[in-house]
Structure 1
Amino acid sequence: MAACARPAWAEGCFDAQGKPGKPVYLTLDTGHMAVAPLMADILAKHQVKATFFAANERTQTGDGSLGKDWAPWWKARAAEGHDFASHTFDHTYWRADVGSDQFRVRPSAGPSQGRESVWTAAQYCGELAKAATRLEEITGKKPLPLFRAPGGKTSPRLLAAAKTCGYDHVGWSPAGFLGDELPSEAYSNDALLKKALRDIQPGDILLAHLGIWSRKDPWAPAVLEPLITGLKERGFCFATLREHPRYKAWIERQTDPAAVKPAK
């Protein structure tokens, strides 16, 4: 009897028994970085590969999340096999489209922190490339041709502009919002963990951060390890966005134009 075709989401990773698993895609955005070393230890302990979206954000220690003080941390993650992508260099929020070809933006880090400006598409593309270039400088690994807009805030015009300069946008799945940005007074770590384990589905893109300033009871690393072990017990496995069916062909085209040939 012929084997059944594997569903699209069953690409890229295997369960604890070495069988094709139900993949999820853990993505981690930068933050204050205080919990980053502990999170990295947990990922290494459980052999979980993540995709990091990096901006040069203000940190509790050091000179910015992409500064020289954190460079060894990023290089170690590259050696472990994680993937990286742009989160804009100064964590720059899209605020609105302006006219036919410009955007109102506001960085939350860097020299223009908190000030609104109007940028061209070329300026926005430069902001995406600046973070990617810095990641490659400090890790020695070429980032994926992907980006995540801070807050996930975009417009169709912004997404189209980013694609023209080689970047596809990555959001997150509804159940993949892990809640680490929510106030701990209303959303306890225990409640967020239970919700995630109940609702996450195969193929979901998960979102958390390397430290959130506003949450009093930090989500990470407290929830990260039981989330990983709980999902693995349910037959899930972890892959980077390099293996995601939504992005795999795009990544191959951007990194090697000959890798994906157009259909005849």
Structure 2
Amino acid sequence: MAFGHWTTHPVKYVVATVLIAASAGSISATAQKPCEKPLYLTFDTGHMGVAPLIADVLNRQQVKVTFFGAQERTQEGDGSLGEHWAPWWKARAAEGHAFASHTYDHVYWKGDIPSQPGNPPQFRVKPSAGPDADKTFTWTAAQYCEEIRRASQRLQAMTGQAPLPLFRAPGGKTSPALLAAAQSCGYAHVGWAPAGFLGDELSSERASNPALLAQALKTIRSGDILLAHLGIWSRKDPWAPAVLEPLIVGLKERGFCFRTLREHPDFTAWISAHSK
């Protein structure tokens, strides 16, 4: 019956064939291309002053990244995970970016507390944000896990998307005991490659934007995790977006492509096993 329909109406057949072919071409054009030299660009929170500009660059360049969120003090609004910035985070989720915890109050690990064998580990920590900023505390593993979880839960509330079961400790400062504690409650730590430190935390006098761009283009290699921030208070000449867009363009010209940590080979099995 269907075959008779098409032979009776050849014009409809031709039109349908063209539409099907056009649709297939559209699908193949929008499908993600194979990525032979992947890079994993990540952003930690900061004062958020350059966050809208960073989002514009990422959208224009069609680059997906992973954001690590903490509730840090901001130039505008009620903190980087506050209500003022919630629409910004929701928009990034709609664009296909990934999210993970940076601890809620940007809590630095300062050291392990010596304990008797068999006793639960404890850690000396120091938040740099929130009501207890700059105070030093002794925390149990459970308390540290809850701090990771708080940021993850806030990100999910804002984005409507489950964050990755990953976290980044502020400053990248950890110990084997801290990493084991985090893993016990379902979170793997993400650092960055040596060449992936993009230098936006350095002073403008010590490291100019042109120098940082040249260094990154020279040293970054396939598979590197790259680190930048959504605004650094101490840097007078902002790194983003001045360096960000030429860096992305230059890396693309060298054959690199960008992926989120969802696709990083070191984390795909962990994410699959621990995602909720």
Aligned match for 1:125, one of 123, 145, 162: 145
Aligned match for 2:168, one of 148, 158, 161: 148
Distance across 2 between alignment mates of 1:255 and 1:145? 6
Aligned-residue sequence identity (percent) comes to: 71
Query: Residues 190-248 of structure 1: CA distance to partner in whole angstroms, max 9, x if unpaired?
Result: 00000000000000000000000001111011000000000000000000000000111
Aligned match for 1:114, one of 134, 138, 145: 134
Amino acid at match of 2:138: V
Aligned match for 1:90, one of 87, 100, 105: 105
Residue aligning to 1:73: 88
Query: Residues 40-73 of structure 1: CA distance to partner in whole angstroms, max 9, x if unpaired?
Result: 0000001000000000000000000000000000
Aligned match for 1:45, one of 56, 60, 71: 60
Distance across 1 between alignment mates of 2:151 and 2:206? 34
Query: Residues 69-115 of structure 1: CA distance to partner in whole angstroms, max 9, x if unpaired?
Result: 00000000000000000000000000000123100000000000000
Aligned match for 1:157, one of 162, 167, 177: 177
Residue aligning to 1:237: 257
Residue aligning to 1:26: 41
3-state SS, counterpart of residue 84 of structure 1: strand
3-state SS, counterpart of residue 249 of structure 2: helix
Residue aligning to 1:217: 237
Distance across 2 between alignment mates of 1:65 and 1:216? 20
Residue aligning to 2:199: 179
Distance across 1 between alignment mates of 2:86 and 2:112? 34
TM-score normalised over the length of structure 1: 0.90
Distance across 1 between alignment mates of 2:238 and 2:87? 24
Residue aligning to 1:192: 212
Amino acid at match of 1:246: D
Unaligned runs of at least 5 residues, structure 2: 1-31, 116-120
Aligned match for 2:114, one of 90, 99, 108: 99
Q: Does 1:208 align with 2:221?
A: no
Report the structure number with the largest CA radius of gyration: 2
- RMSD after superposition: 1.4
Distance across 2 between alignment mates of 1:19 and 1:124? 39
Residue correspondences, number:
242
Shift of 1:19: 4.6
Unaligned runs of at least 5 residues, structure 1: 1-16, 257-264
Residue aligning to 1:54: 69
